Amino acid sequence: MQYGTALRNEIKTSETTPLIGVYDMYSASLAAPHYNGFFVSGFGFAASYYGLPDIGFIAWPDMVAFAERLRTAFPTHHLLVDIDDGYVDPEVACHVVQRLERAGASGVILEDQKRPRRCGHADGKLTLPLEEYLEKLEMVLASRRDMVVVARTDATEDEDILRRAAALAATDADVVLVDGVRSVEWVHRIREVIGDKPLLFNQIAGGKSPRLSLSELTGLGVDVAIYSTPCLFAAHSAIEDALLELKDADGRLPVGRGAGAVGVAGATQLLERNISRHHERAVLPHTSPSPERQPVSV
């Protein structure tokens, strides 16, 4: 299956394509009925797999293994994977891209940060010399077959942002991402310098970028929106609330609240879908979910 082509075709549609950040198999299981595209963010994976911040702890074999598990359970969902800086070395970056493509990933994001790296919405980011990053990017582009490659810059100075965005758009990368965009005006400025190249916008709660709807992003000419951590942060709040409630009740489990209450049966039913999907004929998705468009039935 050509997962890269399927995502590429989705990006060409007139509306902004949403990709929802998932951090483990359970969060992906919950997101799957609502959206047909996943984003594996470095922030979410570092938090869930290692219990550490997104500052460069991820080992590439762990990320590849996660992508393999996702693809097995979700054979028709788009799957965009954050590979940070390609794990430093260009040859390693190429190897990881090839492994992810064989695992069924639809695309990757490769950034221009240098170590020590930071979350894209954190202060103190450092970037590689542009020429060094472009050399790594070209090697990655040459190593992929069908996979979508998103070229990302973490530049923070005004002139450097525009210079790097234009340089990234001039490559064969499929999409350009400027992370930590500070305003709608900056979306316009970046859109202008990258021309017709597809543009990706990263939304993360508490980040530096404005909170924008998919309709607003479509109006700004944004082709893809990644939502890095909605599942992770929702779980954080829900788990904290549940444990406080359990402590206040002296350890007595709460009574289930209506049809939406989660228990053994509901959780098992959710997870059983991950077994059944790969027994059915996999049909690649070609439409993004929206008020008018439903997720692909699998």
Convert the pLDDT of each residue in 22-46 to its tens digit: 999 999 999 999 999 999 999 999 9
Which residues on adjacent β-strands are paired with residue 109?
A: 82, 150
User: Residue 291: its pLDDT value, please?
Assistant: 39
Convert the pLDDT of each residue in 74-117 to its tens digit: 999 999 999 999 999 999 999 999 999 999 999 999 999 887 67
Show the beta-strand stretches assigned E in the chain.
17-21, 37-40, 78-82, 107-111, 148-153, 175-178, 199-203, 224-227
User: Residue 280: its pLDDT value, please?
Assistant: 62
User: Residue 281: its pLDDT value, please?
Assistant: 55
Contact, 83 vs 64, CB < 8 A?
A: no
Convert the pLDDT of each residue in 259-296 to its tens digit: 567 888 888 888 888 887 766 654 455 444 443 334 43
pTM of the predicted model as reported, rounded to 2 decimal places: 0.88
Convert the pLDDT of each residue in 122-170 to its tens digit: 666 788 999 999 999 999 999 999 999 999 999 989 999 999 999 999 9
In the predicted structure, residue 121 carries a pLDDT above the cut 70? no
